[in-house]
């Protein structure tokens, strides 16, 4: 049942001006919100978000001073198989804020801006479920750096495989910040996005709409 608080969030979202997903603006003039989630697994039907990190890109620059990071309380125990990746144990999350707070923070940060994520199907599926539980839609367009990397890097992988974040960053000579930490991965993804977009420009204008298109088109 919706509380007064969640109804207020829902009403705020409805009042927020919506931009078109295919806004034809130069990417360097746009604002993107890079999001990374650490989860207990990859199935949003039974797995849970344990932490989130997000950082804006504005004017082609990573705004680390405006980044956000938070832990999320989860029902039950955190599986040992996921702890070995993100190092967040059940006891680390016992006093963490509920999922609704994560949604409120990200909803406020994202607004009507496009989102950037690596292997974006993970973030998209978990965010849609999380926002739905707070009676909010999550329909932000997402640029997937894993797909963009395939347009730039010469990698021999199958059609259903993805270029890992660390591999793509290393291949382009970028620093890798705290792997499997939500904010560290968000910052790494932000740097990767800027590097990939720069190479995709080829000296010509590159729009947000084109980046979204390329994110859907696997080479």
DSSP string of 185-216, one letter each residue: HHHHHHHHHHHHHHHHHTTS--BHHHHHHHHH
Taking the C-alpha atoms of residue 156 and residue 167, their distance in angstroms, rounded to an integer, is: 13
Taking the C-alpha atoms of residue 35 and residue 14, their distance in angstroms, rounded to an integer, is: 22
- Nearest Cα to Cα of residue 5 among 109, 87, 103, 79: 103
Taking the C-alpha atoms of residue 132 and residue 116, their distance in angstroms, rounded to an integer, is: 20
6 has a pLDDT exceeding 50? no
Q: What distance lies between CA 153 and its chain's CA centroid?
A: 21
88-105 core/surface letters (b: 16 or more CB in 10 A; e: else):
beeeebeebeebbebbbb
- Nearest Cα to Cα of residue 92 among 215, 217, 181: 181
At the fourth CATH level, which superfamily is domain 25-216? Ribonuclease H-like superfamily/Ribonuclease H (3.30.420.10)
pLDDT digits (tens, 9 = 90+) for 18-77: 555 446 899 999 999 999 999 999 999 999 999 999 999 999 999 999 999 999 999 999
3 has a pLDDT exceeding 60? no
Q: Are strands 115-117 and 31-39 parallel, antiparallel or unpaired?
A: parallel
- Choose between 155 and 163: higher pLDDT: 163
Predicted model pTM: 0.90
Any idea of the CA torsion for 198, 28, 36, 122, to the nearest 10 degrees? Answer: -80
**Average pLDDT, whole number, for the chain?**
90
Q: What is the pLDDT of residue 160?
A: 77
179 has a pLDDT exceeding 70? yes
Q: What is the pLDDT of residue 11?
A: 54
DSSP string of 149-188, one letter each residue: HHHHS-----TT----HHHHHHHTT----STT-HHHHHHH
């Amino acid at each position: 049942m919706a509380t007064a608080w969640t109804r207020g969030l829902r009403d705020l979202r409805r009042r927020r001006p919506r931009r078109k997903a295919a806004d034809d603006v130069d990417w360097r003039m746009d604002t993107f919100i890079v999001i990374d989630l650490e989860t207990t697994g990859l199935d949003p039907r039974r797995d849970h978000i344990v932490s989130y990190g997000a950082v804006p890109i504005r004017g082609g620059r990573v705004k680390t001073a405006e980044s956000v990071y938070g832990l999320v309380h989860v029902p039950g125990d955190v599986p040992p198989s996921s702890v070995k990746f993100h190092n967040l144990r059940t006891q680390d999350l016992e006093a963490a804020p509920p999922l609704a707070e994560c949604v409120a923070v990200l909803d406020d940060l994202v607004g009507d801006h496009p989102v950037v994520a690596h292997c974006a199907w993970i973030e998209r599926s978990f965010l849609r479920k999380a926002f739905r539980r707070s009676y909010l839609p999550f329909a932000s367009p997402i640029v997937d750096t894993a797909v963009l990397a395939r347009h730039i890097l010469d990698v021999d992988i199958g059609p259903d495989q993805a270029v890992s974040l660390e591999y793509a960053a290393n291949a382009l000579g970028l620093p890798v910040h705290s792997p499997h930490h939500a904010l560290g991965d968000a910052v790494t993804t932000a740097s990767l996005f800027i590097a990939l977009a720069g190479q995709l420009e080829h000296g010509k204008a590159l729009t947000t709409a084109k980046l979204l298109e390329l994110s859907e088109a696997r080479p």
